């Protein structure tokens, strides 16, 4: 591997990996923070680095309490189980991670029924559809207890006025509100860029519409592992019980929490660079026949292309040292470990495929 460090980035000259923002290596500063972290047994609540991360995030996002988890999947599941009982139902998007991409965990492990809804083109769930799918209090139906949203969703930022309206609707019907904020800070950076202000304040404004929020540190923020669930003290106590049951009680977890804490302090504003790289990529891919490029709002570029072409294109790119995914649509994700040179290589490789 021919990796060079470029403004904190580990840019691999051999491969431009745009499959996901989860593929990053910890920066030198992050590794130093991990090495220096004071540790204890977090199952006893004794790990100072875990406790510091939990308090810092809860405070920054405006919640009473927070809980460090190994993964976003576990954090979302603990949230769903904290909000819902056996036989309850949550309203969720067809393409939301908490419905489509978590192995059916809510149903399998929580006995919680999903009510998936189609997304509007902007990624939101139409308010009328949410309202129409809240079940009456009748023995025939599961009890609708929770609205679960995701922001960003497929790289799109849910509009702030939508969040306010969805939250108000949920409240009016007595539903709790959970946000899968795996990429909360990407949304916050985009909101801050559009409206002014700093991304931490924007993140807090987004979170004000939810009873619980799960934030991932192992995506754009560049930590190797870890998510944090935020909520009220009481909700986090319930989630703590589920985390234990699900095998998520980690011991000297501070070595991981320190990486996440470093990311919270040093990687948030930098996400704007990933967004700029995504725009550069989208710009470079525009105008190719058979490839429809969606304008990225954050760090994810989706392209519509014929299914057979997508598979051939992904294979062609791989042979050229550029990695992307093509399950539903062709997808490229920018992150800490790619730079403009890598993005330009990806553009050139796609253009070669189309002989353009």
- In the complex, the residues that contact ligand PLP under the rule CB under 6 A are 71-73, 76, 97, 150, 180, 182, 216, 218, 227
The token pair that represents 34 in the structure block: 């991990």
Least spacing, CB of residue 351 vs ligand PLP, in Å: 28
Least spacing, CB of residue 341 vs ligand PLP, in Å: 26
Task: Yes or no: say if 101 and 279 are a contact pair by the CB < 8 Å rule.
Answer: no
Residue among 216 and 313 whose Cβ is closer to ligand PLP: 216
Residue among 96 and 166 whose Cβ is closer to ligand PLP: 96
Element (H, E) at 146: strand 143-150
Least spacing, CB of residue 218 vs ligand PLP, in Å: 6
Residue 142 burial class via C-beta count within 10 angstroms: exposed 0-12, middle 13-18, buried 19 and up: middle
Least spacing, CB of residue 76 vs ligand PLP, in Å: 6
Least spacing, CB of residue 153 vs ligand PLP, in Å: 7
Nearest-angstrom CA–CA distance, 102 and 51: 27
Residue among 61 and 347 whose Cβ is closer to ligand PLP: 61
CA 92 to chain centre: 15
Nearest-angstrom CA–CA distance, 345 and 229: 37
CA 149 to chain centre: 11
Element (H, E) at 340: helix 340-353
Residue among 66 and 216 whose Cβ is closer to ligand PLP: 216
Residue among 115 and 218 whose Cβ is closer to ligand PLP: 218
Nearest-angstrom CA–CA distance, 135 and 344: 50
Residue among 17 and 180 whose Cβ is closer to ligand PLP: 180
Least spacing, CB of residue 16 vs ligand PLP, in Å: 20
Task: Tell me the residue number closest to ligand PLP, measured at CB.
Answer: 72
């Amino acid at each position: 591997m021919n990796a060079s460090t470029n403004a904190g980035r580990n840019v691999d000259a051999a491969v431009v990996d745009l499959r996901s923002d989860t593929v990053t290596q910890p920066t030198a500063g992050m590794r130093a923070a991990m090495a220096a972290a004071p540790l204890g047994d977090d199952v006893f609540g004794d790990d100072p680095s875990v406790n510091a991360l939990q308090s810092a995030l809860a405070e920054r996002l405006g919640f009473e309490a927070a809980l460090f988890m190994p993964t976003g999947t576990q954090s979302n599941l603990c949230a769903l189980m904290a909000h819902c009982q056996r036989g309850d139902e949550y309203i969720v998007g067809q393409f939301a991670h908490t419905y489509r991409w978590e192995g059916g965990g809510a149903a399998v492990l929580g006995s919680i029924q999903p009510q998936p809804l189609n997304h509007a083109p902007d990624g939101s769930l139409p308010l009328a559809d949410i309202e129409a799918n809240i079940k009456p209090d009748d023995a025939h139906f599961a009890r609708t207890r929770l609205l679960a949203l995701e922001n960003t969703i497929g790289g799109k930022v849910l509009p702030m006025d939508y969040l306010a309206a969805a939250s108000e609707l949920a409240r009016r019907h007595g539903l709790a509100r959970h946000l899968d904020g795996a990429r909360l800070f990407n949304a916050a950076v985009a909101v801050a860029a559009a409206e002014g202000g700093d991304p931490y304040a924007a993140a807090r404004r987004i979170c004000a519409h939810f009873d619980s929020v799960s934030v991932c540190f192992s995506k754009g923020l560049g930590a190797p592992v870890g998510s944090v669930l935020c909520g009220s003290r009481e909700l986090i106590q319930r989630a703590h019980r589920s985390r234990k049951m699900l095998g998520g009680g980690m011991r000297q977890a501070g070595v991981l929490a320190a990486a996440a804490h470093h990311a919270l302090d040093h990687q948030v504003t930098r996400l704007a660079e990933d967004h700029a790289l995504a725009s550069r990529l989208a710009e470079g891919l525009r105008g190719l026949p058979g490839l429809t490029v969606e304008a990225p709002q954050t760090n994810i570029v989706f392209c519509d292309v014929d299914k057979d072409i997508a598979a051939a294109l992904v294979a062609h790119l791989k042979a050229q040292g550029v990695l992307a995914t093509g399950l539903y649509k062709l997808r490229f994700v920018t992150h800490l470990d790619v730079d403009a040179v890598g993005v330009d290589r990806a553009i050139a490789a796609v253009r070669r495929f189309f002989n353009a």
